[in-house]
Structure 1
Amino acid sequence: MLMKKSEWYIENALKPRKTFFDWCYSQIHTFKWSNKQQTILASDRKNCEVIEKRLTKRTNLTFFDKFYAFCVVLVTAKRVEIQTYCFWSNIENGKQKIKMELSNLERFSNDEYIQIGKWWNEYTTGLTPILPMGGAYTGVTNYEDDWKERIQTISELRYIDFSQAQYFDRHDIGHVYKYRKEIEFLQKIKATTIASQLMRDHEIDYRVFNQNWLKANKSILKNSSLTFDEFELERRIRNRNGKVVQGIDQYLSYKDIKHIPKGVGIVKFQNWVIKKAIDFQYYHDYITMLSDIGKKADTLKTIIPDDLREAHDEALKVYLILEPDIKKRKKALKDAKERRRLEKEERENEIQFKRRLRQIRKYETIIDGYAFVVPKKLEDIVNEGKMLSHCVGNSRYLSEHRDGETTIVFVRKEQEKERPLCTLEYKDGQIAQLQGYKNQEENVPEGVKKASDKWLEWVKQKNSPNKNRASQSNKIA
């Protein structure tokens, strides 16, 4: 929330040096028209590109020329500002007229992060997209002077050791400013790896990471060279009264620990995982299905079966017969209060799924004769699992897809869009898995694998903030 009106921040913004504006104008070309009798110069500016053209009776000397946007970082002891100036070059009767305005302002000062942009004829909160199909910095050219040195020596960020950052640029300022106290703390106790990760905004789970987490773990973070993931894995295993078995990080992440049943020692479980080369996602599916069919994972034989695939397939057979269905359970319930609860849950799921459907329709396309189709309702995912005899319809995938933690996509032949072929899970910007009938590798056609790789690249381009969506095709040859 702004403490003052938007115009106040613009009126009291730092003033760039004259050298910045000189540089801006040097980036803007001008024109020269000439023939044997006459020469017309659009501008007498020096140190800029001059575009020479032939002067004829048909030469148009009035037109819009070009739009430019330039960004400058200004630094004082109490304030850092990122200012974006827009320039419009017009030619009127052979003379160049350039209009300039401050279009966006980011201000970091006294624990405040302010964003001001010019929308139409007034300044308001939030940054203005510079180009119609882009963001606040799409098409913006950065002015490079001594701002990085000033950030590190005189600004509020001067107590940070920037030598630990592999890379630092204009777009990193906001993040580093937001977490500067945490970065300083980590550097002070020599937790150098996590400090470096935090500076890069890389591989840090901000649902876990905060000042309370830092204070609670200060003694074990001190002088640690572990990454955030390694530290959290070790911490959570230690909380299960165990220690990390060498090599387990190749199979488990810290997020997996909460899914391991309590009826097994954590060291014994790690040794089993390493010995059997367990795919934990596959194991998680197995444990989820046990819960769905009402079977407790409370014995060693159940928790760490000798043959996980065999145990998984047995659970799947029962699951497909006893498919959890809210409507069927609701009819069987005599308790009116519980029935109303389930009806409310069903309505909320439908509303949430409709909202989710609007977000994921963009993933539908045709590639190399294969249709990539998103489920239109949760029952579609359940049916997909039944038809292909795999566990995509269990409660884990239904809830994670509904809540946006993962995205289920059906891959079908273009001419048989209603017939299940393969199922794709898209998560964290990658294809987490691609499964065919009964989770068998041989049941995923090579054409599906290649088309899915192309689909992933298409999705990445579609999600890119710098991509003009108007130029994207919904069909890839």
Structure 2
Amino acid sequence: MSGNYTNTIFYPNNWQSKLKNNRDLKYLTLPRIQRQDISRIYKYRYEIEYLQKIGNKRLAENIMFTGKLPYGKDYYSTVDMTTINKNWLKKNKSLLKKSDKSFNEIMIQLYLETRNIKMIDNLDRLIHYKQLKKLPKEINLRKFINYLKEQKFSFDYYLDYIYMLQELETPLISDLIIFPKDIRKAHDDLVSVIGKLERELEEKEYEKRQKSLQKYEQEIDEFMFLVPKDLQEIVNEGNALHHCVGGKHYLDNHTKGNTNIIFIRQKEKVEKPYFTLEYKNQHVAQVQGKYNRETVPNDLQKAINKWEDKIKRIS
């Protein structure tokens, strides 16, 4: 099981040792590194050296490695080098000196200090510092942190809940609303409300064009060509025949008049979904039966041809 590079010795000049004697890097304490780490270490050599001198081994390693760290405490580099620079290091020296805190924990602590709130243990494991800054100003930060510890929810999930409240123009003044006892139920209830409101708007929009669709309702041979009375009927059609007509793409396009969804029924079974037709740009775009696989019977195809001819004449 050999390959092109089997038994090849890379870098026979002992580059690891030579790198430690490089004039720009000689004051750094370098663990065993991979060649892909060299450029990053060289670029941020000042920041790494400064942190090592003040005894902050963890943050120095976070900067050095882009991949998995060798000591197992952190698994990935999580530092933001747009934040860490000479001024930032000197300004926060007292916080960073001989510290084993993660970058996220440090940033959370600095942010909480601006709000006169003491750091809470293990908060950095529950939330990212950038997420805290996304909270609307109306939300009490102390109460939110306690709520977060109790509920242990995903922050993005909670923020989605807050955004939905704002979409519904709900004032963020009541703790019962801002911090519901069951965040998952409260979130899902809002999803349902907004979904219902959106459907109502779509239905109103659809009602405006229903008159123009009436010409598509025809009785041809043994078949009925019917226009959906509302959008829910299209969803039901898709569910009954197990095809994609009930999806958002077709609902939106049918509502806006970009396409036309027509139900085909057998006269003696007019309530039972049979085939679904899409009429677009003055011709039949597709006809789908159950599971999108059912072949169109000859008698139905003849009726569809007659229907299309008639619609073109009417148009």
Report the TM-score when normalising by structure 1: 0.36
Name the amino acid aligned to 1:172.
D
* 1:277 paired residue number: 152
1:33-44 matches, within 5 Å, as none
CA RMSD in angstroms comes to 3.2
Whole-Å separation in 2 of the counterparts to 1:240 and 1:200: 32
* 1:292 paired residue number: 167
**Cα deviation digits, residues 147-186 of structure 1 (max 9, x gap):** 2111112431111111xx4x41211111101111111111
Whole-Å separation in 2 of the counterparts to 1:274 and 1:225: 23
* 2:33 paired residue number: 168
* 1:251 paired residue number: 126
Whole-Å separation in 2 of the counterparts to 1:234 and 1:144: 46
**Cα deviation digits, residues 388-439 of structure 1 (max 9, x gap):** xxxxxxxxxxxxxxxxxxxxxxxxxxx9566669xxxxxxxxxxxxxxxxxx
* 2:25 paired residue number: 157
* 2:251 paired residue number: none
SS of the counterpart of 1:259?
coil
* 1:83 paired residue number: none
- Asked if structure 1 preserves the Cα contact closer than 8 Å seen for 2:56 and 2:98, the reply is yes
* 1:190 paired residue number: 55
Name the amino acid aligned to 1:285.
D
1:229 aligns with 2:94: no
Post-superposition shift, 1:264?
4.2
Larger Rg: 2
Post-superposition shift, 1:233?
2.1
* 2:14 paired residue number: 146
Q: Which runs of 5+ in 2 are unaligned?
A: 67-76, 199-234, 236-241, 249-315
Q: 1:181 aligns with which of 42, 46, 69?
A: 46
SS of the counterpart of 1:295?
coil
1:263 aligns with 2:138: yes
Whole-Å separation in 1 of the counterparts to 2:141 and 2:52: 32
- Asked if structure 1 preserves the Cα contact closer than 8 Å seen for 2:47 and 2:86, the reply is yes
Whole-Å separation in 1 of the counterparts to 2:46 and 2:23: 14
Name the amino acid aligned to 1:228.
F
Is the alpha carbon distance of 1:220 and 1:315 closer, same or farther for their aligned partners in structure 2, counting shifts above 3 Å? same
- Asked if structure 1 preserves the Cα contact closer than 8 Å seen for 2:139 and 2:172, the reply is no
Post-superposition shift, 1:231?
1.3
* 2:272 paired residue number: none
Is the alpha carbon distance of 1:246 and 1:67 closer, same or farther for their aligned partners in structure 2, counting shifts above 3 Å? closer
Whole-Å separation in 2 of the counterparts to 1:207 and 1:236: 16
Q: 1:316 aligns with which of 144, 166, 191?
A: 191
* 1:33 paired residue number: none
Post-superposition shift, 1:282?
1.2
SS of the counterpart of 1:142?
coil
Whole-Å separation in 1 of the counterparts to 2:28 and 2:171: 51
Report the TM-score when normalising by structure 2: 0.53
**Cα deviation digits, residues 275-298 of structure 1 (max 9, x gap):** 222222210110121222333323
1:17-416 matches, within 5 Å, as 142-162=10-30, 165=31, 167-201=32-66, 202-323=77-198, 416=243
Is the alpha carbon distance of 1:420 and 1:191 closer, same or farther for their aligned partners in structure 2, counting shifts above 3 Å? farther
Is the alpha carbon distance of 1:200 and 1:272 closer, same or farther for their aligned partners in structure 2, counting shifts above 3 Å? same
- Asked if structure 1 preserves the Cα contact closer than 8 Å seen for 2:105 and 2:123, the reply is no
Whole-Å separation in 1 of the counterparts to 2:155 and 2:187: 12
- Asked if structure 2 preserves the Cα contact closer than 8 Å seen for 1:204 and 1:228, the reply is yes
**Cα deviation digits, residues 339-397 of structure 1 (max 9, x gap):** xxxxxxxxxxxxxxxxxxxxxxxxxxxxxxxxxxxxxxxxxxxxxxxx9xxxxxxxxxx
SS of the counterpart of 1:283?
helix
Whole-Å separation in 1 of the counterparts to 2:59 and 2:247: 44
Is the alpha carbon distance of 1:419 and 1:249 closer, same or farther for their aligned partners in structure 2, counting shifts above 3 Å? farther
SS of the counterpart of 2:62?
helix
Name the amino acid aligned to 2:154.
D
* 2:239 paired residue number: none
- Asked if structure 1 preserves the Cα contact closer than 8 Å seen for 2:104 and 2:124, the reply is no
Higher helix proportion: 2
- Asked if structure 1 preserves the Cα contact closer than 8 Å seen for 2:25 and 2:45, the reply is yes
Name the amino acid aligned to 2:57.
T
**Cα deviation digits, residues 425-463 of structure 1 (max 9, x gap):** xxxxxxxxxxxxxxxxxxxxxxxxxxxxxxxxxxxxxxx
Whole-Å separation in 2 of the counterparts to 1:291 and 1:141: 62
**Cα deviation digits, residues 249-308 of structure 1 (max 9, x gap):** 332221221123333443332222122222222101101212223333233222212222
Name the amino acid aligned to 1:145.
N
Whole-Å separation in 2 of the counterparts to 1:309 and 1:171: 44
Whole-Å separation in 1 of the counterparts to 2:245 and 2:94: 57
Higher strand proportion: 1
Post-superposition shift, 1:197?
0.7
Is the alpha carbon distance of 1:312 and 1:154 closer, same or farther for their aligned partners in structure 2, counting shifts above 3 Å? closer
Structure 1, 238-247 or 189-198: larger mean CA deviation: 238-247
Name the amino acid aligned to 1:245.
I
- Asked if structure 2 preserves the Cα contact closer than 8 Å seen for 1:245 and 1:271, the reply is no
SS of the counterpart of 2:133?
helix
Q: Which runs of 5+ in 1 are unaligned?
A: 1-65, 69-139, 324-386, 388-414, 422-477
Post-superposition shift, 1:200?
0.9
Whole-Å separation in 2 of the counterparts to 1:420 and 1:282: 24
